[in-house]
Structure 1
Amino acid sequence: MWINKFQGISTDCTFSNPAAKEEMERAENSLNVILPQELKEIMLETNGVKEKFDFLIWPLERIINENKHYRNGYLEEYYMPFENLVFFAGTGIGHLFAFPVAQDGICREDVFVWNDINDSRIWVAPSVTTYAEWWLNGLIEI
């Protein structure tokens, strides 16, 4: 279902083997969040979506590693805390796409872009599949 949706957005999308439910649980436990349902469904069908030369949605292992990297505290004098975001893709120029995390640890479906230059966090799409469609069609301006 999700692979077909992404292929409808771009014929350049390539896909990975599905993530196992255990990998999903490990990612959520590792980041102390509950990932958005749509992202979980996508990951259980394809663990990451690549479009041409870059990932439209990172694989779970990269999501874990990137978020741990930004949450380790070494950037705290320059940026607001990152615990309220879960990064899942990049723009190719340093900005990252993320889901906001509520205080109860549940990620919202909305997608924001974090600007690494001015530390802004701006809403760009209501869901991960809408983000993919809008991003690939040039409707999200960074």
Structure 2
Amino acid sequence: MWRELIWEMYPEAVLADPVDEVTLAEVEKRLQLPLPVELASLLREVDGVANEYGDAVVWSARRLVEDNLGMRREPDYQELYAPFDEMIFFGDSDMGPQFAYVHTDYGPGIVVWDHESDRRRLVVVSLRDYLARCLIQGNSWFR
């Protein structure tokens, strides 16, 4: 489903091979958070999505773990920013913003995080909308 949807929206997308259930379980264990259902579903089909310019619209399972743990453990980040423990960062753009799942009162949502201001703003509530806006419209609407 995801592979076809992405190629329909953006034929130039670069899609990696899928991950297995063992890898997904390891990601959740290391992050100490459950993966959002739609993100886990996408990773079962493709382990990361990049646009034609190499921007990591959706990170690989390995990068999910490395970047999230790195951000949570970085002493400077702990001093400068609100905690990231309840967030799962999963994508970025060439302009600097990073995108993360957070839990809201009405379910999971996707926020854009600005590292300069530590602003976290809800931008979409589904991975499908996120992909459409990143791949079809570019990231300009996130600013």
Partner of 2:132: 133
1:118 aligns with 2:120: no
Amino acid at match of 1:9: M
- Report the secondary structure of 2:123's partner residue: strand
Structure with greater proportional helix content? 2
Is contact 2:56-2:93 (8 Å) kept? no
User: What is the rounded CA distance, in whole Å, between the counterparts of 1:140 and 1:8 in structure 2?
Assistant: 21
1:19 aligns with 2:19: yes
User: What is the correspondence of 1:43-122 to structure 2 with a 5 Å cutoff?
Assistant: 43-52=43-52, 53-74=54-75, 75-101=77-103, 108-122=107-121
User: What is the rounded CA distance, in whole Å, between the counterparts of 2:51 and 2:142 in structure 1?
Assistant: 18
Deviation at 1:90, TM superposition (A): 0.9
User: What is the rounded CA distance, in whole Å, between the counterparts of 1:119 and 1:56 in structure 2?
Assistant: 20
Moved over 2 A (4+): 138-141
Deviation at 1:141, TM superposition (A): 2.6
What value does the CA root-mean-square deviation take over the aligned residues?
1.5
Instruction: Report the TM-score, using the length of structure 2 for normalisation.
Output: 0.89
Name structure 2 gaps, 5 residues minimum: none
User: What is the rounded CA distance, in whole Å, between the counterparts of 2:102 and 2:121 in structure 1?
Assistant: 10
Is contact 2:103-2:109 (8 Å) kept? no
Deviation at 1:76, TM superposition (A): 1.4
Amino acid at match of 1:93: M
Deviation at 1:111, TM superposition (A): 0.7
Is contact 2:109-2:125 (8 Å) kept? yes
Deviation at 1:73, TM superposition (A): 4.2
User: What is the rounded CA distance, in whole Å, between the counterparts of 2:111 and 2:32 in structure 1?
Assistant: 19
Instruction: Report the TM-score, using the length of structure 1 for normalisation.
Output: 0.90
Paired-residue identity, %: 26
Amino acid at match of 1:65: E
User: What is the rounded CA distance, in whole Å, between the counterparts of 1:92 and 1:69 in structure 2?
Assistant: 20
User: What is the rounded CA distance, in whole Å, between the counterparts of 2:74 and 2:50 in structure 1?
Assistant: 29
User: What is the rounded CA distance, in whole Å, between the counterparts of 1:109 and 1:4 in structure 2?
Assistant: 24
Q: Paired residues, what number?
A: 137
